[in-house]
Amino acid sequence: MMHLRAYSILLLLFAATACEPKNFTAWQTEDFDNVPITQSVTRTISLRNPSAKDVQTLLGIGFDGASDGKENFRIDSVTVGTRLVGQKDIVVPPGSSVNIQVTYEPRNLNITHADYGGWITGETPRFKPYKPGEAPPAPDLSIAVQRVVLLAVYDVPHTGITQIELIGHAIPGPNGELSLPEGGVGECEAGGGIGCFTGNFSIDIPKLFTTGPQETPLVGPIRFSVGDIASLRMGDMPPMVLPLKGNGPGEPLEGQPVSAVSIIIRGAPDVTATGTFNGSLMELQDLSFRVQVVVGEVDAKDVAGVTPLVDFTIDKLKMTTEEPLTDGNITMKIGTTLAQNPSANPIFDKFLGGVEIIVRFKGKLSL
């Protein structure tokens, strides 16, 4: 029987029933062949309920939490027949199918460390000594195998798990790109359970800003999954940059040893916020943002290579709708108050500690 390492808690829920005769485990693979960086391929995986009379119930659909290649794949939507549903508590009528729309969008040329079904990828080669004057060969950047296991966990009428190994082959982009810009998505196509937000974001820190919120365009779209359950993969959010300039009297950095810093805000990787969207109002829970501070002014398109002096995460945030979706326009809001020592850096905590922050996203939501 094939070995799968370190499954998620969802898989462990079924350990107690593993010996039941009606328990089942199925395995299949889906191959995404030679997808260039900056491009993507979308595929629908259908799991049919073969019974003519029994309703199937799935506890959930999601990625194996131990996989290190899941940042290259995403679940765009889940449908039963043509009806959009969430990723948990899924009911499949007799003869119908649960359809999982999955996109492979390679973010880089890193090979996945995995051992599924006896196939090992991402092994570190053994050190080989070289003679004087020799040099090790350059790494092969022509193609990278990226793998993840998608789980469909069944409850009724039989408990069991369908394991779907997604295998991607990433190659350099059309212009030689070896990775996507850190954070954000290259493109977003609305429809089929995907909502694409474009527009501006504004940040207001009343303690620091005497002239009101600072507003700037987003450098890329924000992609939401919308259906019975709405979700946002935080790693897909484009980076946002807030410049603070001036250390004179009454200026944001008054009394500080630097005259300009940039606060970089981006979605925390491997975190997915979930909530609801009723066609007008969106509400998401458990958003998580990574906050970095660098000296000087930084453009949002150049944040990948920065070296931050401060780096911390803000968790458990809530996004609400301030202005409902009307004629394609919507405004969403996130508000929080930082802890007194959020960054553990005494210099920056003097002006970041305990401040109220209000972030708004105002623009178009295409469905």
Tell me the mean pLDDT in the region 156-181. Answer: 89
Give the model's pLDDT for residue 177: 83
Q: Would the pLDDT of 9 be above 70?
A: no
Superfamily of domain 9-171, CATH level 4: Immunoglobulins (2.60.40.10)
Give the model's pLDDT for residue 17: 39
The answer to whether residues 162 and 149 touch, using CB atoms and an 8 Å cutoff, is no
* Cα 203 to Cα 166: distance, rounded to the nearest angstrom: 39
pLDDT band at 126 (very low <50, low <70, confident <90, very high): low
pLDDT band at 13 (very low <50, low <70, confident <90, very high): very low
Class of domain 194-366: mainly beta
Q: Would the pLDDT of 23 be above 90?
A: no
Q: Which tokens in the block code for residue 80? A: 């039963």
* Cα 45 to Cα 88: distance, rounded to the nearest angstrom: 17
Query: Which is higher by pLDDT, 12 or 60?
Result: 60
* Cα 239 to Cα 287: distance, rounded to the nearest angstrom: 14
Give the model's pLDDT for residue 97: 95
Which residues face 119 on adjacent strands? 116
Q: Which tokens in the block code for residue 211? A: 């002239």
Query: Which is higher by pLDDT, 145 or 349?
Result: 145
Q: Would the pLDDT of 316 be above 90?
A: yes
pLDDT tens-digit map of 259-308: 888 888 988 877 889 899 999 999 999 999 988 888 888 877 777 667 78
Give the model's pLDDT for residue 66: 66
Give the model's pLDDT for residue 128: 64
* Cα 40 to Cα 34: distance, rounded to the nearest angstrom: 10
The mean predicted confidence, pLDDT, of the chain is 83
- Of all residues in the chain, the percent with pLDDT exceeding 70 is 85
pLDDT tens-digit map of 174-216: 888 887 765 555 678 888 788 999 999 999 988 877 788 889 8
- Of all residues in the chain, the percent with pLDDT exceeding 90 is 38
Give the model's pLDDT for residue 138: 59
Q: Would the pLDDT of 219 be above 80?
A: yes
The answer to whether residues 314 and 345 touch, using CB atoms and an 8 Å cutoff, is no
* Cα 51 to Cα 191: distance, rounded to the nearest angstrom: 31
Give the model's pLDDT for residue 342: 87
Tell me the mean pLDDT in the region 331-356. Answer: 87
* Cα 13 to Cα 8: distance, rounded to the nearest angstrom: 9
Tell me the mean pLDDT in the region 103-125. Answer: 85
> Worst-scoring range by mean pLDDT, 94-108, 127-141, 233-247?
127-141
Give the model's pLDDT for residue 125: 58
Q: Would the pLDDT of 136 be above 80?
A: no
Give the number of other Cβ atoms within 10 Å of residue 130's Cβ.
9
pLDDT band at 20 (very low <50, low <70, confident <90, very high): very low
Q: Would the pLDDT of 141 be above 70?
A: no
Q: Where are the domains of the chain?
A: 9-171, 194-366
* Cα 62 to Cα 157: distance, rounded to the nearest angstrom: 20
Burial class (CB in 10 A: 0-12, 13-18, 19+), 289: buried
Give the model's pLDDT for residue 7: 40
